[in-house]
Structures are given as structure tokens and as C-alpha cells.
Structure 1
């Protein structure tokens, strides 16, 4: 690899040429770059990479990865509790326009063929009757859904969005490795890869005339809308929830396309129409882009144990009142076994050969094919025919026949004799390689050759035709083994750039500014999302209040250089505030060591029995991950940040406090004043009011000492306000008035209750009689109680009453606006729109 001293600093062309020459001197001709080493497009791409990285490829990789993380790209591996950053290579895969035209034509032809087969399988079933498709291949598939037989999906199509996995052979030919039809993932990652690479290498778009992604997504969205009955339909993206491996991608797509991100619990069917449950009642949904397992989609039609489906959804489809993309049941064609029949079906149904050939496949449901697979075991890949793991394969996964032991071969042969239809044999495909940045011995970075597969996406446009996303995304294997069977999912991804000689119009997904109707209505707020925002506010405020008590306890009773220690009685009350919140056990004494241990437990304990700051933050982080389509990347990043680990307890507490302040600032200054913000702020105000009532009861009652009152001012963040207002010293009545009753103090109890009342007045109501709803009436009672109270007469009983009413108010808000199991309709004042 060239060093900075070896070449002129600004000679990007020389750098790029050296990188290409060094790489191709080590790699074989089957590599994509080496086969096209003289293509000026690759030179231009590496020149842009030089502009980003100089001669440091590690910098390029880190910069692209940082942009991906800024976008909020992530994914989850099954079994993981936390998301992982989406790995993006800084080196894109380049495909010229002529070569891409052939790929796109092959994908469109394949999509038409699959649609034709699906229409027959769920219609007249002539292909099975004529023997062109074995009946066992259909009936034996867990993804053939009988309730869909005879049902023509709204709009007339079973398929509206699909993905095709391709492999490029060493000599440049493209072949189909598999079809993704049930809930194809990855289009959002392709979009995010493009955004990350474009931000890092801004000049690439114009230099290579890169085909854009926006027209594809616009055509898909418009195609869904065109199939709906209403002129301005409401379209949702149905997600399994935040624990789905590709939830981050789904949230990004929903935000980018302007779709409503919904879960099954958000939806209800009434009189064969689909509705989303919102804070304003039921709102009609006209189309769903489904990312859930189709078998879980409707417990009345498919799996009765489903807890994530929508009862009655298939009936709504049958009534042509909701479009679902893709229709349930399309997954029957994902079976590897269909690869053995598609070439013949293409000839029969389309009158032409497949433009993108399948890899050679033998379904063992036929006796000749089963015998062939066993005879040629050493040269084939043995895989499940229907996805479900058969007994004869180690771990139930696709396995190279040559790697089976004699004992495993015997088990395979025995199970194939019992259930041959569960197996397929496939040729072992060798893949082309492409350059990737990798760690070398000694810590250096270099371009290395790695095998890759390409996922291409197609979607129906408003005319019912197929649009192919120009590029898709590449999955890069970690090891140098170029067999598709051992590459798995790959550890890295790469942007795929389709380039040509002609300039590309700067198309955006956004319509022209003068063609869209101005709207200040922020849109529909599902009840689940309102619930999330309310509790996000409560958790953040709860964590901040607990942290404040810990900091006061640490700063005034433990650190020798922090000034005079608090009196033992005041420290005891602080301890009671912390332990009363369930953050830790009561210490054996008020000695320094015991207090330090309590503070450490209350702030950082991972034991689930303690409601520590760490545990509260984890709850807030979970809500943030499930609401990322409505939160800024900065807020999600702060919520995801780990608990500080450097410095002493006070230093770590200070870091957490600054994080809480940043989150509060983002919500106050960057969130639009929508209903979502109101619920978030409402949660904050309710939780803060509860905390202040407890603090005043603990430190502001009769006989309170100067230390008690000072602590109360510290907990309420009102020390400066008090000192500016009162110059004669500290006294109980003015302290209690400032903290509890002053409506102009943003940290007072009165201020929080007034804000709660204002939010509830602004939120939608179901009744039209002009009367207060229960939550509004409860807030009005609180306002009256606080506005007529006096500091001198405020006692524990009055504060207890305020706290109970706040908890009751929270219950009433939840009952009015949030989801309650299977109660979808809220019959009183039901709104249908």
C-alpha cells in the first residue's frame, strides 16, 4: 500500500491507480474490480475515496460507518437484547448501466412469472392439476395458506414488493440464489447505505451519473395508493415490533416514505374495514406494507395463538377494503424446491427462458432426483426444501455434502427414505469477489477480496408494472471462501452503484413545492405511540429526580471538600427518598462507606430488584428504540448511550445529569408541538409533580431544619431563585411557597399541575357535549387545590392527597388515550375517519 511520503499528497489519480494495481496483483481475474480494472468508473470511485481517506483506508471505513450511525441504521441478531450498528463498507460495488439493464429485465421477468404462478395456485390450480407443479410441493409447504385460496387480493396482485438474491460467477454471469417474498428486508438498508456513502463521498453522484433510489420508492408508494379506494389513503407499515431484527430499517422506511408505523395491537377491524386506534378514536387504514410473518397476521384465519396479528384482517381483504403488500401466502414460492421447476414453468407460462437462470436444483420428492442427490452427495449442497429443519441435516442447516461424516450420511439417507420431500440438492456456487477494507496483521488496513451476493428489489408502480431499484445492496462475506453456501449472511454490506454515460436528473422523493397542499396537522398519533411518549417522559423525569437525590447525598455528606456535611436527620431523609423509590436497600448506618454503597447501588445496580438509575434508563432506552420513527437521531443516540464508567461516583453522576439536561433540551426545543410532544411533556410534568410532592413532604414540613430546607431547594433546583428573592436567610414558609405553590417557578408543584391541565385541554376529546372528560376534571381539581393552598398550612395530609390525585390522573389518561388489551372501539364518542 502506498504511503503518504511515496506519492504527492493531492495526486488522487496516482493514489487510485496504485491501490487498484496493488489489489489486482494479489487477486484473481474473477474479481469484479480486476475484471474491469481499466473502467474509468472504478478509478473515479477510488479517487473520491482518496479525497476522503488520503492513504488511510481505516479513516474511510470509520467515516462511512459514522455516517451510518448518524442516520440511525442498526439491526438485531436473534437472541441479542441490543441493536448492533449496521456495517457498511466504504467501497461500493459498481455496475454499468448496460449490465444492469440485463439484471433488471431478468428481475421483472421473474416477478411476472412468480405472480402468474401465485394467481394459479390460489385460483384454479391448473398447474398442479396438469402435473407441472407436484401437489406435495404446495401442500407440504408451511407457507401455503389455505384460507387465501379463491381470494383475489385488492388491486388484483399477490405480489407488490419482492427481493431476489443474486450471485455473480467468476466469469461475470449472474444467477438467482433465492427469492424473498413473504416480508423482504433490506430496501431500507440499501437506502441507508446510499445515504452514508453519499455523505462521505459527495462527488461520486455527479462524476459517475449514479442512478437514484428515490424514484423507485416513490413508485412503490404511489402504487399502493393507486390500489386503494380512497383518493387520499392512509397507508401503514405493519411491524412485528422493536425486537424484530430489521426494526430499525422498518422505522427508517416508514419515516422516509411518510407511512404510519403500526403494530398489530394498534389496529382493529370493524365491519370489514381496517382502523388504527388513535388518541382521537378510530382512523381508517387503506393499505398495509406488511413486515410480519404472514401466519401471524390474522388469528381468526391462520395461527390462533398469534398475539401480534389483527383479527378479521383477511375478511377486510376479501371485502377489498384494505390492500396488503404482500398478500399472505406468497411465501409458498420461497421454497428452494421451486428452483427445480421454474425454468420449465417460464417456458410454459411466458414462452421464453429465464433471463436470470436459477442455480441447478433437485427436489428429492421425486425418486430419480433423490437418487441423484445421494449419488452426487460430495458435489452438492443439501438443504431443507421448505425452510423447516429436517432431522437428517446437522443443526437443520444447509450443509455441504462433502463435509458430512459417515454417521451423518447414514442419518441423512435414513431420513430421506422416510421424508424425501423435505430435502433439496443444489449445485455449489462459486462467487465473484469485490474489494473490501480489512484489518491486516500489525493493525494496518488494506483492500482485500471478499465474496459477495447482491439483493435486488422490485416493486409495482401505479400502472401495475414492475420498477427495479437501481442497485440494491451487496452482502460481503467475512472469509475469503467464495462459495455461496458458506458465506451466510455476510458481515458487511456495500452500496451498489448503477452508473452510466448520461447525467441523472436530481430526483427526490419529495413532490414539487407548489404541488402539495399545505398542512399543519402533524398526522395520526396511534394510542400505543402516545403511551410510549408519556412513559418516556415519566422515566426520564424519574431518573433525573433519583439522580438529584443521589448527588445531594454524595456531594454534601461524603466528599470532604464539598463543604459542611448535612445533619444526620437530613441525610436520613435523603436515604429514605432513595430507598423509598426502590433504588436500593436501606443502609446499615449513615456512615460514609454505607452511604457510598447505597449511592452506587441506586445509580448503577443491574439487579432487577432495584429501580436504579441504570434500570430506569434502560426502560427509557427501550421506548426510544420502539419510537425511533418519531424521535431525532440525537435523542435516540442519547437514550442508547451506556452508563458512564469513568471517574468517581460524583463524576459519573454529573455525566448522567448533563445527559438528562441534553434530553430535556432536545424535547423542549426540537420537538414540534404535536400531540406526541404533549404526551411526552405530560409524562414529565406528572412525574415531576409526584417527585416534588414527596420532596416537600420529606423536607418542608413543620420543624424542618435549615439543612432540610436547603436540601429541598437543591432537589427542586431552586437555590438561585430563592437567594435572589430572599436576602435575609432561609425560612420554611417562603421555601415551601417557592417550591410548591409559586406558579412562576418552572420547578414548582403548581407549575407542573398547571402544565398538566393545559396539555389535557389541548388534547382531543371524544364527546361533543362540552363537558370535561374525567382526566380533565381530575386536573382541574388539582389546580384548584394548589391555587387555594397556603405555604403555612400545607401539611403531609394535603400533599398525600395531591400525590394520590396525580396517580389517579395518570390512570385516567391511560384509560382514555392508551390501549387496553382487546378493547379496540372505545364505543362512547367513537370517531371513524
Structure 2
């Protein structure tokens, strides 16, 4: 029996059972898959041959592969308690062409209406003067930005893109639940969902014949380029993000990456001479050269300019409002768009539509009453009669708790809106019990102004909740009316001159690249050291123990002391993210750095972390000694894959900073590793094991055997790992690579402080005799070698600081946003 057969049978036997995620109780609902007679709806009938073969085991396999694919791609969203994995249900929401055609007409009209309202509210304000929309409902909303409320600032098209949260009522009619125009999010997640589902359910996807999403992204890019406020044949567009702490940081990076525009933060931009620029290194002593023409804003309006709006914001750009007023930059969507998300507008949109467009509103919203007008009595009466039938929200859209609700409303009625709860439609959601359960849906649709009209994405993002109340999403498939129909029904993007552009890197982005390289090398070296030490710990004998102790001493120099025994110490060095210098700590630092420049990276980058996460999870479940080495090798495989990713990057300043960070860190790590051979003499066997362990940890064991034809000696090892400029693992080679990368930086002149320091370090390495380093003092310790390694490490650390001073800028930390997450926004109605 197929999953959909079982699902249909369950609906027929118990059609009125209440849903666990539904506060309204047992009600009749519109099911998106099964009709009232118990058969598949038309959109699903056309793909019945594929859907009816979906057994529980097949769906369980696909569900597991979806989770793995999303983890490999690093798809997350950030909640209050940190980053969470993005969840995608195997069952798409499939809509027939006829259903979508009527819906997209209403969505396009709604986008045009919201655009006209915003142009009026921030311009002539005729709607407010004539009482079509009460002025109090606008000026009391936190999203109303007075600084741009003047006709000279406004534009006739302030909204480029809108998002609309929708649901179907019991009769199957679409109703608007909320408008999202402040900084519409979710488009990147929708594209990710499509990519994963189409890849893992290829037969179903091909048979469904649905609209591809890629043309919409091409139109989006074209529309942004056309938004330039100045006449420029090559306008510069950036995506302004709140940073990696944002709930939808992945979505923002995906959009930037897909459109080919830089992802920037407020600290990356500066306003100078009335225009917005990419901030150059050593600002304000240096002059900016890369002007920004269009900003795709993902920072809420009130946080966008600490000079004229919220003074405590660290997310915006000081002076941005003035640049907008001067017409030097176009912000998309326009500053102040958040006022349109005001639920108090819902009762007044039909009248506004007739006034501004001369049409009746096609797409109704859920019934709503603003308590500042005649809706107060209606809301209070419903609260008394059936409190579960109505949801009370503030003008900012937040739900209000039930305690003393009536008293709160009566005290300040204009601050509250009552919205009728609708029995939203349901669809099957795959559960952990191995069956499909009916769950209510909210659909987010996207509408873009492309050319003279608004066009709606034939697709979208659907959200439901599983048995435990946790959110998960569905891909939205819109079937074509005819196989010959063009995808998205969009015209070809406007032709533009094929001129290559060199994207500018802000100092913050260069710093992220640099530290990503350092953390990547730190993780690799820690893993190699654990593998080498574990190999000695696993082999019995006093000499082996002494050799293992030498490598463990190095590990503790790198990652701090843990007096818990060798086995536990090695395990901790892999999994303890709070232990500075551990592999887990380095991977966490690398992830944080790469998140800040995600738009610059291949999707394959994130497989590094999925490999590591799975290895760490397996290691935590196993107590067998061999599991430590197995986990380290699996994690090392993931880290090494990053070399392949960076090898395919264009050789721009970002790549050079990754390389500089990687090889500078390698030089430091080799210095620390070589401290293992500075100690007092051990037995001949123990010394040999220590030297072999050092070579293994430095990935130079095979190279040494081929070059020196025998067991390791201190002299040959120092020659190979310190002075050999042909060995990629040596200090000399590493510093040569740092020198080459620094020379490629635009601020390097050949005589900057980092270059001078580096020249001195390289000179000292070239001039030091290996024989001097191998000599022992009276107590048997190689004091000269220890001093050399200490001096070199200190000099490299000073070099790192000089690089940061010249090429980077330490801006203020990102401020965590307190707004609701994307999932909560879509399900709160």
C-alpha cells in the first residue's frame, strides 16, 4: 500500500479529528491532496503513476537523503537558541495551473496596491488626508520612517519585491494572512528546496512538468540592475545583511551568491560626499573608489542608519538616509516599507484599492478589525464569546498573550488588531512514525516588479509543523498549463554589455577570508597530530608511551592541558568545541568566518562541516579506542576537501587572504610541532618514534624517506621542515607563500610593515645553520632550537598583527536581531 493510499484512508475514516498544531479544534478543512470524495485532486491525478508508487520505505529513504543533502549544503536558519538545520518535507505542495493563474493575478494586484500605498504614505498622503486609511494606524506603527516622508524623496516604485503569506480557508479559497515587504525573505530557501527535491525525486519532478525557478532569479537580477538611481552602464549592486546572527543569513547569502552581487554588512559601507561606497582599508585615511548604486536591503529600516534612525544600531550605514534623499543610491525595498506589514491596514485595503487602482481587491485577507476605529466592539465581543476564534496582534504583528487582554486593548485600542482564525488547508507531512499525517499549511508567495508590471513566482515556500510542533517546509510546485509554456512566463532578461567586473572586498570580508584560512590549517594540523599521537598510544611498551607523551605534550601546548588520560585527551581534542586549539574549536571558528563570506564560496564548502558533524556524532556514541582515529581521519577528509574548493576559486584578493592565513598558520603550527624534539634525550626507540610522529603529523614522512633514504634524524627533519623551500609543509615554503599572497594585495607596496617583517623572518630562517639547532646543552635540551622556534613564532604572530592593521578593520560585533524568524512569521497567523 502506498503512503498516499494510507493517507487518503485516514482522512476518510476520521475527517474531523483536531490537528495537534491547530488551536481551533475539530473543523472541516480543505485538503491539498485528497478531495472530499477521497480521491486525488487534479494536480495530483496527473502524476498519479509516480505518486502512487511512493511507499513508506521509499519516502523514509528520501527523507533521510534530504536531511543529509541539506546538512552537506550547510542550510540552516537561526532561532533564539542558535542555528538550526533547515527541514524539508519529501511531499511537495502541487498546484494546478488554473488554480495558480487566478492566484497570481490577485498577488500582482496586491503588490501594485502596496506599492501605490507606500508611494502615497511617504509622498502626498492623500489616503490619510481623506480618511481612507486612518492616520493613527500609520504614524503609530514602528515601521513608519518620518525621515523619508516627503514627496521629494519618494519614488513611484518603492517596492521591487513583495512576499505574501497565504492560506486556504475551509472552502479552498485563498486568503492573505500577512504581507512581507520590509525585507522579504525565503526566496533562497525556496530555491534550495527545489534543488533538493528535484534531485531526490526526479521521476516525480519530471512527470509533474512544473515551472522552473531559475528564470525568476534572472529577472530579479535584471530588475535590480535597472534600479540604479544614477545613469551607469555598470551599476554596482550589494546585498545588505545584518550579519551571520540574522535568522535568515543562509537565505541572504544564497540570494547574493545566485545573483552575483556582494553580500555586505553595515560596517562594510560608508557614506562619503553624499554617496555610498565600499569601505576601503584604513578608512578614513584612504579614499573610497567603489561606489554602490543599489542596495538590496535585508536590514529593517529603523536599523539602517544610526545617524538619523536608531542611534544604537550597529547594523546600518551612517548617512544612508541622506544618500537616499539626494537620490545617490536606491534602496530596495525602500526605507519605511515595514509600515505596510501593519495588520491594521487589512480592513482598509479594499477601499484603498478602489481609490488608488480603481479596482476591487481580488485577493481578500482574513477578516480583521482595527481596535482604534469601529472594530473595538467587534474584537471584544468575539474575545468574550469564543476567544479561540480570534487572534489579537499589535501593530508590529506580534501576538498578544491572553492575560488581561481586554484591559490592555481598552487602555490603548489603536495599538491592537483582531484577526479571525481561519481553518487553514492541510497536506500530508512525513512523520517519524513512518506515516503521513495531515498538517496545516502557510504558503509564502513572491512577487517581483519586472519591467512595467509585477510578476509572481510560479512556486514558493510552504511551511507546516510536525507531530512535535517543530517547523518544516515544503517545496511548492506549480504545474504548467501546457508543456510548451515558458518557465515563469517571463520575457528574456534585458541584454547588458559583457564587461567583466572585479568585485571589491571590504576589510571585514578580507579578515573573514584570512581567518578562515588560519582556522582551516589549524583544524588540519590538530587532526594530523591526533592521528599521529593515537597511533603511538595504541602501541604498547614503555618507549611507545614516552613517544606518545611527547606528542601529547605538543597537543596540550596547542589546545590546553587536560589531565584526564591520553585516550580522553585525544577524544577531547576532536569533539570539545570549547577547548581552544581543538579540531572542533577550529572548525567552529572556520564556520563562523566562512558564514561571513558565504556569497563568495562554492556550495561544496559546507560539506567540510557535515563530514565533521557526522564524525563527531559517531565518536560521541562509541567508546572504542579505535573510534578516535577513525573520527579524526573522517574529519580530516572533510577539511582536505576545502583545499579542492579553494583551488577552484578565482585568484582575487579574497583567495590570497585565505592562502596567507593558511600558510601563516602552518608556519606557527610547525614551530609548535617541532618543540617535540627539543626535550632531553630519550631511548633510541622512543626518539625514533617521536621523530616519525612529527613527520607523520607534518605530512612529510613519505617525503623524508624518499629524500633521506633512512630513519629520521633531527638534522634531516629540521632541514626538511624548517629550511626546505620545496617542501609545502616547511616553514620556509609557508612564508614564501605568505609573501606571494601579500604582494598581490592592493595595499602592498613592497615596503609595508607586514612585508618588512616577513622579509626579516625569511632572512633569519635562511641564515640559521641546522647544525646549531641540533646541538644539545649540558642538560640534554636543544636550547638553540627552542629559542629559534620561540623567536620565529613570536615574529610570525607580530606579522599577523601587522597584516590585520594594514589590510583589515576590526568593526563592532554584529547585533543579534530580536525579530521573529522566517518560520515563525509564516506560521504565526
So what's the TM-score if we normalise by structure 2?
0.84
In the alignment, what sits opposite 2:268?
266
Gaps of 5+ in 2: 16-27, 774-783, 814-829
Matched, 1:536 2:529: no
Q: CA deviation at 1:647?
A: 4.8
User: Is the 8 Å Cα contact of residues 175 and 366 (structure 2) preserved in structure 1?
Assistant: yes
Which residue pairs with 1:111 in the alignment?
111
Inter-CA distance 695–209: structure 2 relative to 1 (3 Å threshold): closer
Q: Does 1:660 align with 2:625?
A: no
Task: Give secondary structure in 2 for the equivalent of 1:499.
Answer: coil
Contact 1:381 1:425 survives alignment (8 Å)? yes
Residue in structure 2 matched with residue 475 of structure 1 by the alignment? 463
Report the equivalent of 2:150: 150
- Residue of 764, 789, 792 corresponding to 1:785: 764
Distance 1:609 1:87, change over 3 A: closer
Do 1:167 and 1:454's aligned partners in 2 also have CA atoms closer than 8 Å? yes
List aligned pairs for 1:95-106, cutoff 5 A: 95-106=95-106
Cα pair distance change 1:654/1:450, threshold 3 Å: closer
Match of 2:478 among 497, 500, 516: 497
Structure 1 residue 622: deviation in Å? 2.2
Match of 1:428 among 409, 413, 421: 421
Where do residues 88-487 of structure 1 align in structure 2 (5 Å cutoff)?
Answer: 88-150=88-150, 156-204=156-204, 207-228=207-228, 229=230, 230-277=232-279, 282-366=289-373, 368-377=374-383, 378-379=385-386, 380-387=389-396, 397-398=399-400, 408=403, 411-439=404-432, 443-446=433-436, 448-461=437-450, 463-478=451-466
Counterpart of 1:671 (choices 628, 648, 669) is 648
Q: Which residue of 2 aligns with 1:626?
A: 596
| Alpha carbons 1:49, 1:60 under 8 Å: kept | no
Task: Note the C-alpha offset of 1:155.
Answer: 5.6
Partner Cα distance (2:181, 2:324) in 1? 19
Q: By how many angstroms is 1:634 displaced?
A: 3.4
Matched, 1:693 2:654: no
Contact persistence 2:124–2:151 (CA under 8 A): no
Q: For the residues of structure 2 that align with 1:821 and 1:60, how far apart are their CA atoms? A: 44
Change over 3 Å in CA distance of 1:668–1:344 after alignment to 2: closer
Give 1:638 shift.
1.9
Q: Distance in 2 between matches of 1:449 and 1:717?
A: 55
Per mean C-alpha deviation after superposition, the further-off stretch among 711-720 and 752-761 is 711-720
Show the counterpart of 2:33. 33
Return the offset for 1:225.
Answer: 0.9
Per-residue CA distance 1:708-733 (angstroms, 9 max, x = gap): 54444344333333333334654332
**Structure showing greater relative contact order (alpha-carbon pairs closer than 8 Å, 6 or more residues apart):** 2
Which residue of 2 is the match for residue 808 of structure 1? 798
Superposed CA deviations along residues 596-633 of structure 1, whole A, max 9, x for unmatched, are 45444444445x46543332222223223333333333
Give the Å deviation of 1:338: 0.8
Give 1:310 deviation, angstroms.
Answer: 0.7
Say if 2:757 is the partner of 1:775: no
Aligned to 1:8: none
Aligned-residue offset at 1:639: 2.2
What does 1:15-54 align with in structure 2 at a 5 Å threshold?
27=15, 30-35=30-35, 37=39, 41-49=43-51
Q: CA separation in 2, counterparts of 1:466 and 1:181?
A: 14
Assess if the C-alpha contact under 8 Å between 2:527 and 2:636 holds in 1. Answer: no
Between Structure 1 and Structure 2, how many residues are aligned?
766
Please give the secondary structure, in 1, of the residue aligned with 2:485. coil
Deviation at 1:179, TM superposition (A): 0.7
| Offset, 1:734 | 2.4
Can you list the C-alpha shifts for 1:646-702, whole angstroms capped at 9, x where unaligned?
Answer: 354553244224423442343246432423332222212111111222333551589
Deviation of 1:745 after TM superposition, in Å, equals 1.7
Q: Cα gap change, 1:187/1:565 in structure 2, threshold over 3 Å: closer, same or farther?
A: same
Spell out, residue by residue over 1:375-417, the C-alpha distance to the aligned partner (whole angstroms, 9 max, x if none): 232344141231276xxxxxxx256xxxx6xxx4xx2222222
Residues 551 and 502 of structure 1: CA distance in aligned 2, closer, same or farther (over 3 Å): closer
Match of 1:829? none
Identify which of 731, 753, 758 aligns with 1:749. Answer: 731
- Cα distance in structure 2, aligned partners of 1:513 and 1:176: 32
| Cα RMSD for the two superposed structures | 3.4
**Whole-Å Cα distance in 1 between the matches of residues 556 and 102 of structure 2?**
68
> Conserved in 2, the CA contact under 8 Å of 1:223 and 1:464?
no
**Deviation for aligned residue 1:203:** 4.3
Unpaired segments of 5 or more residues in structure 1? 3-14, 390-396, 481-486, 588-592, 824-833
Q: Return the alpha-carbon distance in structure 2 between the equivalents of residues 560 and 208 of structure 1.
A: 59
**SS of aligned partner of 1:195:** helix
Label 1:93 to 1:712 Cα distance change in 2 as closer, same or farther (>3 A). Answer: closer
Q: Deviations over 1:809-829 (max 9, x none)?
A: 211221222123389xxxxxx
In the alignment, the residues of structure 1 paired with residue 30 and residue 568 of structure 2 have an alpha-carbon distance, to the nearest angstrom, of 63
Measured in 2, the distance between the counterparts of 1:348 and 1:761 equals: 63
Pair 1:618–1:54, CA change in 2 (3 A): closer
Tell me how far apart the structure 2 counterparts of residues 62 and 513 of structure 1 sit (CA, whole Å): 41
Aligned-pair distance for 1:137? Answer: 1.0
Task: Say if 2:609 is the partner of 1:639.
Answer: yes
The two structures have a TM-score, normalised by structure 1, of 0.84
Tell me, yes or no, if the aligned pair for 1:113 and 1:349 is still in contact at 8 Å. yes
Residues of 2 paired with 1:510 and 1:173: CA distance?
Answer: 30
Q: Which position in structure 1 is the counterpart of 2:778?
A: none
Please give the secondary structure, in 2, of the residue aligned with 1:193. Answer: helix
The secondary structure found in structure 1 opposite 2:431 is strand
Partner of 1:614: 584
Q: Separation in 1 of the partners of 2:121 and 2:508?
A: 38
Asked if 1 retains the 8 angstrom alpha-carbon contact of 2:73 and 2:603, the reply is yes
Is the contact made by 1:240 and 1:291 (CA closer than 8 Å) also made in structure 2? yes
C-alpha distance after superposition, 1:415-448 (max 9, x if no partner) = 2221111222222212222233334xxx4324x3
Instruction: Indicate the residue corresponding to 1:827 in structure 2.
Output: none
- The separation in 2 between residues aligned to 1:512 and 1:464, in whole angstroms, is 13
Query: Contact between 2:269 and 2:317, CA under 8 Å: does it hold in 1?
Result: yes
